[in-house]
Structure 1
Amino acid sequence: MLINNSRDSFPFIHLIRLRIPSVLSDLFSIIIPLSNHLFTRFFTMSEFDSRFIRRLVGTKVTTFLEFDALQQPSAVSSSASAASLSAAPLGASPPRISPLAASPSAVSLATDSAAAATLNTATSTTAPSISLSGSPPLEIGCSWIITKKLSENAVHLTQKDADMGCGPPMAVGKFLCYLEEDPTRIAFMRIYYQIPITGTEDADLATLAQQIQPPQVCGELEAFRLLMSQGCSSVPRFYGYCEKQQGEHDLVPGGFVKYVVWEKVPGEPLTAEFFWSLDLGTREDIRVHFRAAFEEMLRCGVKPDMSRISKIIYDQSTGNVRISGFRRGWPIRDKLEWSDTRYVEYRLAKPHDDRDWPSNPQKWKY
């Protein structure tokens, strides 16, 4: 895998550099290569890790949503839910509902109904079932066919890293997929796959079994759940989640495999080159839409993990802007306010070189 070592990969370093005196610039000539080295160490994919990721193209994965059937107009089967999902207009936003109500489920995505739904996770071993009074929520399954690998990387950890609580090592792949019942319904799927601790790749089953951990919270899932529960229209819709155990012939038998599926919205990720090639009026329109989307997301209590322009999905035909990038995202505890420095972080504005650039946005290039 090629590692992007451009300044785009480390926007926070670029921002810090603008804040400090030039006499410290030599220090960053050391820090940046070091950060690139650490990124390469922990996030490159080895041939060993790639074995599972590569063989996923062409396979089928079933993910699940849960919602309260008693709050729906009628009980719906899992096959009907998939049909509803396939009928939903591409790129349509979830209905605007009150903060106390949850987001539309896979069943209600095709309508403008404001019926409340509660998103939860479900394991692959749980069969879809109809909810009766006092029983658990209805679980709706949708099957997805994986068509293309978009990216892959891995978090490699030594035994010392694991003992320090750095979390389990894992391979992570992002894929394109489509709904089995409707090939025109395209979505993204991210797969988290536990891999052995460095140095134990060829260990016996007893050694690998010691690396199995209890189920852990998936930050990306929690971020999507919170956003969907408040009807956030500034992000792609969440389509489902599944967690399974690896088989006896996989890399860590009994280890986790997690699947997260979300909407592929109309538009393309922005690039700095494309954005700055646009006229001033169009750039300003994108900034206005970006701020509105970002503020809605903050009100829902979520912030993306990375400030990259590529996480802004821009539909040139409509001017719509969506924000993505929740792989390492988490619900935020403290309330965050909008700051115009977000424009600089996402490369939608260019600051001047003064140390006090955050205080003088009127000097920025827009």
Structure 2
Amino acid sequence: MRSKWFSQEEIGPGSKIKLNNEWVVQEALSEHTFQHDHDDYLARVGPAWTAIRLLVEKKGSRTKAYMRIYKQIMNGGTEAESARMRARQANTSWCPVELKVYRSLPKKRPLIVPRLLEERVAKQDESGSVPGGFLMYIVWEIVPGIQLGDACGSKVFWTQERSERDAIREKVKEGRMKLYDWGFAPDPGCGQNLVWHAQTSTLYFVGWFLAYEGDEKKPWTPRFWYFWGLTRPAAKSDRSKTPDDTWTW
């Protein structure tokens, strides 16, 4: 894929990114940009930034992982300003919630999130979009198992046998309540955030890019399974009700 904010030299297939280890880019997977207007910046909305997710492989091994690069970009309306003027927007204190998650959750047990493999926090040089602005690299493991859904729903979950689906639902309940205690919740909170490793009966929560932080703990209700796409009402009119034996499990 082509990128507006990252050069092919940075993220093209075969590009090498040196952290503690050297990682070779296999593929650019997705990119998201949050560019605020300069008036928003003056109102202290926060820095403008972009992030790209890459599939990478550690050089000298067959270890594949995901990497996300966060880069501060200039505020909308200041693209034509000089590097000296754009440098005034530089922010080095901002931290993405995803990095907070990977720094804290792996210290908890049981381990139900991907492990943080590497991170590096740097500053952009004079050729950067915002000289002196943040440039962050996060590398996390690809957990074993099958992802139970995508942006369109929990389709893979529904291909499993009923006994497997029951086991997954119980693991979702157990893990979701732990995440409340740990202070984070994945977004959007559906089948695409779940990876099931049947051999070890381990359910991983993935997809922490725009996670919720400080989510207020709520008592468990079977409706959570419905919100995550793991049970279906008998009729559309039943969607506001509490799941019962008439629902599809």
In the alignment, residue 52 of structure 1 is paired with which amino acid? S
- Whether 1:254 and 2:121 are equivalent positions in the alignment is no
Residues of 1 paired with 2:92 and 2:115: CA distance?
28
* Alignment correspondent of 1:313: 195
* Alignment correspondent of 1:224: 102
Which secondary structure state, in structure 1, belongs to the residue aligned with residue 7 of structure 2?
A: helix
Residue pair 2:117, 2:139 contacting (<8 A) in 1 also: yes
Residues of 2 paired with 1:299 and 1:53: CA distance?
41
Residue pair 2:147, 2:156 contacting (<8 A) in 1 also: no
Residue pair 2:183, 2:214 contacting (<8 A) in 1 also: yes
* Alignment correspondent of 1:344: 226
Residues of 1 paired with 2:162 and 2:179: CA distance?
26
> Deviation digits for residues 294-316 of structure 1, max 9, x if unmatched?
23333333221321311111235
Please state how far the C-alpha of 1:290 moved relative to its aligned partner: 2.3
Give runs of aligned pairs for residues 70-85 of structure 1, distance below 5 A: none
Is the alpha carbon distance of 1:232 and 1:217 closer, same or farther for their aligned partners in structure 2, counting shifts above 3 Å? farther
Residues of 1 paired with 2:3 and 2:207: CA distance?
26
> Which residue among 214, 227, 234 is the counterpart of 1:332?
214
- Whether 1:210 and 2:165 are equivalent positions in the alignment is no
Residues of 1 paired with 2:110 and 2:200: CA distance?
19
Which secondary structure state, in structure 2, belongs to the residue aligned with residue 183 of structure 1?
A: coil
In the alignment, residue 150 of structure 1 is paired with which amino acid? L
Residues of 1 paired with 2:28 and 2:66: CA distance?
10
Higher strand content, 1 or 2: 2
> Deviation digits for residues 215-266 of structure 1, max 9, x if unmatched?
2233112222221222341111122221111121122221111111111111
Which secondary structure state, in structure 2, belongs to the residue aligned with residue 223 of structure 1?
A: helix
Is the alpha carbon distance of 1:301 and 1:54 closer, same or farther for their aligned partners in structure 2, counting shifts above 3 Å? same
> Deviation digits for residues 72-110 of structure 1, max 9, x if unmatched?
xxxxxxxxxxxxxxxxxxxxxxxxxxxxxxxxxxxxxxx
* Alignment correspondent of 1:273: 155
In the alignment, residue 196 of structure 2 is paired with which amino acid? Y
Is the alpha carbon distance of 1:171 and 1:336 closer, same or farther for their aligned partners in structure 2, counting shifts above 3 Å? same
> Which residue among 15, 31, 35 is the counterpart of 1:156?
35
* Alignment correspondent of 1:165: 44
Please state how far the C-alpha of 1:156 moved relative to its aligned partner: 2.0
* Alignment correspondent of 2:205: 323
In the alignment, residue 206 of structure 1 is paired with which amino acid? R
Please state how far the C-alpha of 1:317 moved relative to its aligned partner: 5.0
Higher relative contact order (Cα pairs below 8 Å, separated by 6+ residues): 1
Residues of 2 paired with 1:147 and 1:317: CA distance?
28
Residue pair 2:194, 2:204 contacting (<8 A) in 1 also: yes
Is the alpha carbon distance of 1:54 and 1:310 closer, same or farther for their aligned partners in structure 2, counting shifts above 3 Å? farther
Residue pair 1:234, 1:297 contacting (<8 A) in 2 also: no
Q: Identity across aligned pairs (percent)? A: 24
Q: 5+ residue gaps in structure 1?
A: 2-45, 63-140
* Alignment correspondent of 1:264: 142
- Whether 1:61 and 2:18 are equivalent positions in the alignment is yes
The two structures, once aligned, show a CA RMSD in angstroms of 2.6
- TM normalised by structure 2 equals 0.84
In the alignment, residue 209 of structure 2 is paired with which amino acid? R
> Deviation digits for residues 2-23 of structure 1, max 9, x if unmatched?
xxxxxxxxxxxxxxxxxxxxxx
Please state how far the C-alpha of 1:333 moved relative to its aligned partner: 6.2
* Alignment correspondent of 1:125: none
> Deviation digits for residues 330-363 of structure 1, max 9, x if unmatched?
5426444433222112111123434773434444
* Alignment correspondent of 1:364: 247
Which 4+ runs in 1 deviate beyond 6 A? Answer: none
> Which residue among 58, 69, 72 is the counterpart of 1:194?
72
> Deviation digits for residues 13-51 of structure 1, max 9, x if unmatched?
xxxxxxxxxxxxxxxxxxxxxxxxxxxxxxxxx9532x3
Please state how far the C-alpha of 1:273 moved relative to its aligned partner: 2.5
- TM normalised by structure 1 equals 0.59
Residues of 2 paired with 1:233 and 1:217: CA distance?
23
Higher helix content, 1 or 2: 1
> What is the count of residue pairs matched by the alignment?
242
Is the alpha carbon distance of 1:309 and 1:278 closer, same or farther for their aligned partners in structure 2, counting shifts above 3 Å? same
Larger-Rg structure: 1
Residue pair 1:222, 1:331 contacting (<8 A) in 2 also: no
> Higher mean Cα deviation, 327-336 or 149-158?
327-336
In the alignment, residue 214 of structure 2 is paired with which amino acid? I
Residues of 2 paired with 1:249 and 1:143: CA distance?
23
